[in-house]
Amino acid sequence: MLKDITLGQFFPMDSVVHRMDARYKIVITLIFLVMLFWGQHPTALIAGFLFVAVATVCSKIPPKMLIKSIRPIVPILIITGLLNLFFFGGGTVYWEWKFLKLTQQGIQASVFMVVRICLLIAGTSLLTYTTSPIVLTDAIESLLSPLKKLKLPVHELAMMMTIALRFIPTLIEETDKIMSAQKARGADLESGGLMQRAKALVPVLIPLIVSAFRRAEELALAMECRCYHGGEGRTRLRVLKSGLRDYIALAFTLLLLAAVIVINAVVY
């Protein structure tokens, strides 16, 4: 069912990582991504694995959850793995059939790519598991705030993101309901060709859009009544505050990155 989809996969818990400043978490995640894709040497992957392992332990997120986050992309992993396996690389050829070649570098590239993607998903999932969407939005707003000087509506964008996150589950549930209601009137949403199906969606989409507008209007009124007047002079319940743990985490990640860069430079 549609409403079983979970969005904003925040996993509320009390851990060092949960308590970290979200801005640092974003920056650290970005450094982690750079590190993962630095060079062709396995150190990047070892360092990446080390990073994910340490972060997982510190965040108290059950490793099962990370495996769950990888599950939806298994088809992508298989395809990337196969493409790398057969079409890339050189070196010793182990097996050949028509245009397909199994080479030493191909195997290496394939394994690297799959591991890399797994680590990438695990690492970024840790960010969303340990940071509530709204705090994440705050942090992005704060990180982007220098852009306000360029007249970029940073606060407004962040508010839009928050509202979108808030209303996605509501609208999903509503879609579910409208679909059932139109099916009860004999709407056929499941058969026919592409065009026919697109046309059959009209009775679902129109009420959904109308309802979204109605909600937007009511929400705007409710926000106004609660003294909303843009980002000016606004304070926050959760103040983003950095502390020792953030500096240590950043230092640790930078150290890993440095190690990866140095080893890469030495080896090649």
Partner 1 sequence: MEPLIIIDNVRFSYPTGENPDERTEVLKGISLTFERGELVAVLGHNGSGKSTLAKTLNAVLLPTSGTVTVAGMDTKDEEKLLDIRQHIGMVFQNPDNQIVATIVEEDVAFGLENLGVPSDEMRVRVDQALNAVGMYEYRTHAPHQLSGGQKQRVAIAGIIAMRPDCIVLDEPTAMLDPQGRREVMRTIKLLNRDYGITVILITHEMDEAAQCDRVVVIDHGEVRMDAPPEKVFSHVREMRELGLDVPQATELCDLLRQAGYDLPDDILHADQCIDALAALFSQKGIISNAGSGSN
Partner 2 sequence: MPVLEAIDLTYTYSIGTPFEKTAVDHIDLQIEQGEFVGIIGHTGSGKSTLMQMMNGLLQPTSGTVKLDGKDIWEKKADRRAVRFQVGLVFQYPEYQLFEETVYKDIAFGPKNMGLDEKEIDRRVRETAEAVGLSEELLQKSPYELSGGQKRRAAIAGVMAMEPKVLILDEPTAGLDPKGRTKILTQLREYHRRTGCTVMLVSHSMEDVAKYVSRLLVLSHAKVVCYDTPSNVFARGDALAEMGLALPQITRIFHGLRARGIVVPDEVYTVKYGAEQLLSLLKGGEGTC
Question: Can you give the binding site for partner 2, defined by CB under 8 A?
Answer: 1, 4, 174, 177-178, 180-188, 202-203, 206-207, 210-211
Give 226-233's long-range contacts (Cβ < 8 A, gap of 24+).
230/155, 230/156, 231/154, 231/155, 231/156, 231/159
5, 229, 244, 268: which one binds partner 1 (CB under 8 A)? 229
Where in 110-149 is the site for partner 1 (CB under 8 A)?
132-134
Q: From partner 1, partner 2, none, which one binds at residue 184 (CB under 5 to 8 Å depending on kind)? A: partner 2
- 213: its two tokens: 């507008």
225, 244, 266, 268: which one binds partner 1 (CB under 8 A)? 225
Q: From partner 2, partner 1, none, which one binds at residue 219 (CB under 5 to 8 Å depending on kind)? A: partner 1
DSSP codes, 243-266 = -HHHHHHHHHHHHHHHHHHHHHHH
100, 222, 255, 262: which one binds partner 1 (CB under 8 A)? 222
Q: From partner 1, partner 2, none, which one binds at residue 72 (CB under 5 to 8 Å depending on kind)? A: none
Residue 5 sits in the site that holds partner 1 (CB under 8 A): no
**Those residues with Cβ within 8 angstroms of residue 29's Cβ, 6 or more apart along the chain or in another chain:** 123, 124, 126, 127
- Nearest to residue 143, comparing CAs of 18, 234, 20, 23? 23
How many whole angstroms separate alpha carbon 201 and alpha carbon 179? 9
Instruction: Calculate the alpha carbon distances from 147 to 9, 29, 35, 155, 156 in Å.
Output: 28, 21, 26, 10, 13
Residue 3 or residue 199: which is nearer to partner 1 going by CB? 3
How many whole angstroms separate alpha carbon 260 and alpha carbon 45? 9
Residue 8 or residue 42: which is nearer to partner 1 going by CB? 8
As measured in angstroms, the least distance from the Cβ of 176 to partner 1 is 13
In one-letter notation, the amino acid at residue 186 is: G
Residue 8 sits in the site that holds partner 1 (CB under 8 A): yes
Residue 163 sits in the site that holds partner 1 (CB under 8 A): yes
Q: From partner 1, partner 2, none, which one binds at residue 251 (CB under 5 to 8 Å depending on kind)? A: none
Residue 155 or residue 183: which is nearer to partner 2 going by CB? 183
